[in-house]
Structure 1
Amino acid sequence: MAQVRAFNRFYTGVIGVLHQGVLDTPYSLTEVRVLFELDRNGRMEAGELRRLLGLDAGYLSRILGRFEIDGLVMRERSASDARRQVIELTEAGRAAFAILDERAATEIRELLDGVNEEDRERLVMSMRTIQELLGREPVAHRPYVLRPPRPGDLGWVVHRHGVLYSREQGWGMDFEALVARIVADYADGHDPRREAGWIAEVDGERVGCVFCVRRDDETAQLRMLLVEPAARGMGIGARLVDECVRFARAAGYRRMVLWTRDVLLGARRIYRAAGFELVEKEEGDGFTEEIWARDL
């Protein structure tokens, strides 16, 4: 709790909201938030705006009264219900918010001027992590994208396999070394017509991967399926597998196989749903090695 409070004090100071006015204007932070929501949403009922910002009705009324005197908003009765009030920015209000918005963007640019590109990425990812862990948006509703691997992604694949499987399954550096060899073989000259990889991203952050590699002329192999814990439940694993299967079929393979372990229950459910069947197994040290396959 002390660390969270210390961060709140630090970041409040960084963004300057302890100043009497915001962005060298006569408006408070709450007043700027009201302008922001009206600019973003257009016409809004007073009750909707109050609930969105968590404001007391009397406080919001005083803010809107001040804005009306300054010529920034118009208020009128709802055509469908005279008891409800509808608020909209005037041209002057939109112009005032545009100035605020540009000043805010300038402050952020100045704040980041002294931060190198790699540290900017770390900063943004940390902010996204805070939003993800403390936010209220259901995970399953967040959009994601799949894209080909880029420089730096293969190192991430090895790193996250090592970290996650050590944490979740207790597998050691021998497993990480195995993944590193698979990745190195892929990077050493894969044929893009018959081999491919996909990286899943949520809000620009890597959250999953899978690769399709050649086993022989007739058979493709699905390798290195991984989904970060925070992104599970979004359907990313199933989508990665489906993409892999579609690519293998289009590349001319007649069969696809994969290797897994019986303790990876979530992955096994995805493979079964994608049409794979268990065809071979061998007892290992505390788990069972499995080969799954399907025709294409």
Structure 2
Amino acid sequence: MTVHDIRSFNRFYTNLIGALDYGRHLYAPYTLTESRVLYELAHSPRTEAADLRAELSLDAGYLSRILARFEKDGLIERAPSERDTRRRQVTLTARGRETAALLDERSSQAVASLLATVPAGERQRLAEALRTVRELLSGGRPPRAEDVVLRERGPGDLGWMVQRNAALYAAEYGWNTDYEGLVARIVADFAEDHDPYLERVWIAELDGRPVGCVMCVRDAAPATARLRLLLVEPDARGLGIGDKLVRACVDFARSVGYRDLVLWTNDVLTAARRIYQRHGFVLVAEKPHRSFGADLVGQDWRLALHGTPGDG
């Protein structure tokens, strides 16, 4: 391997990406950097200007100009941070969320068109090769919290959520297929009928593979959202992924105007319960029950958000 080899690959890949965007104006009317800032605002729970600057290694003045343009275009709102009034919190507006989703969709379609040229039997080899490149060029360091990306669901993700929930809870708690059936019904209900403005799924991704998920859906109670199916893969724990997923759910529920966010869990899920407590959820009721082949204590938790759905 020589410097020439890496530079040659860089030329190949940049030409490839340029070809994908040729004539399609993939990121128009925004630059690639501006689109990346929008992506972070849509997918990261850390949305203070200082966090964005550190995450993307951007010059403060350059980021300020990007945010000023977004504000002028009606894509974001800026306000003092709740944690520190000297810092600025950046929040996407409804128009901003739509724009970020459009750019994300265009990018996904472009990559899908690229993958369509790769035989199905070779795609796993391609994925492994990409992971190998990242691992080698990162110096073999262990994954860090900032390597985790939150994104919205894509094709196959809902099926992955059912499979991984069933497999992990069977392995870690001995739950039977009744739990898999429950998860399958929850996911099927979302797939068949959900409001994209008021309901959402997030996938946590590390090195190009899904390692966690959570879902926010409307509850039967008025002005109330429900957090469901929080999961983090065992080999990805310790990176704050559960916190990121719950924060994304809380921020989303608050941004679209729900008054309350509720969830149901079981007392044996101690790690998850600690996450909920850190984010301000309060235990409001618990009841013993026999489900999934085990004797459990079900718990209802609630977080007050304020507002009314659709007002935000």
TM-score bracket for the superposition, by shorter chain length: 0.5 to 0.7
1:107-150 Cα shifts (integer Å, max 9, x gaps)? xxxxx9x9733652366359849x98xx9523335511111111
Query: Could you tell me how far 1:262 is from its partner in structure 2?
Result: 0.8
The alignment partner of 1:179 has SS state of helix
Asked if the contact 2:217/2:225 (under 8 Å) is kept, the reply is yes
Distance 1:118 1:189 in 2: 33
Distance 1:127 1:169 in 2: 34
Letter paired with 1:184: A
Which among 201, 205, 208 is matched to residue 201 of structure 1? Answer: 205
Change in 2 beyond 3 A, CA 1:229/1:118: farther
Residue in 1 that maps onto 2:120 = 117
Farther-moved stretch of structure 1 (227-236 vs 176-185) = 227-236
Residue in 1 that maps onto 2:240 = 235
Residue in 2 that maps onto 1:187 = 191
Query: Could you tell me how far 1:151 is from its partner in structure 2?
Result: 1.3
Letter paired with 1:265: T
Change in 2 beyond 3 A, CA 1:288/1:128: farther
Residue in 2 that maps onto 1:153 = 157
Residue in 2 that maps onto 1:210 = 214
1:246 paired to 2:243: no
Bigger Rg, which one = 1
Higher relative contact order (CA 8 A, sep 6+): 2
Asked if the contact 1:140/1:233 (under 8 Å) is kept, the reply is no
Distance 1:203 1:230 in 2: 12
Query: Could you tell me how far 1:190 is from its partner in structure 2?
Result: 0.3
Unaligned runs of 5+ in 1: 1-31, 37-96, 107-111
Asked if the contact 1:125/1:205 (under 8 Å) is kept, the reply is no
Which among 280, 287, 298 is matched to residue 289 of structure 1? Answer: 298
Asked if the contact 2:170/2:176 (under 8 Å) is kept, the reply is yes
Distance 1:227 1:240 in 2: 9
Segments ≥4 residues shifted beyond 3 Å: 98-102, 125-129, 139-142
1:64-87 Cα shifts (integer Å, max 9, x gaps)? xxxxxxxxxxxxxxxxxxxxxxxx
Change in 2 beyond 3 A, CA 1:190/1:144: same
Distance 2:259 2:6 in 1: 61
Identity of aligned residues (%): 51
Distance 1:122 1:164 in 2: 26
Query: Could you tell me how far 1:98 is from its partner in structure 2?
Result: 4.3
TM-score by structure 1 length? 0.59
Change in 2 beyond 3 A, CA 1:263/1:194: same
Asked if the contact 1:139/1:233 (under 8 Å) is kept, the reply is no
Q: Please tell me the root mean square deviation across aligned C-alpha atoms, in Å.
A: 3.2
Q: Give aligned pairs, total.
A: 197
Asked if the contact 2:145/2:241 (under 8 Å) is kept, the reply is no
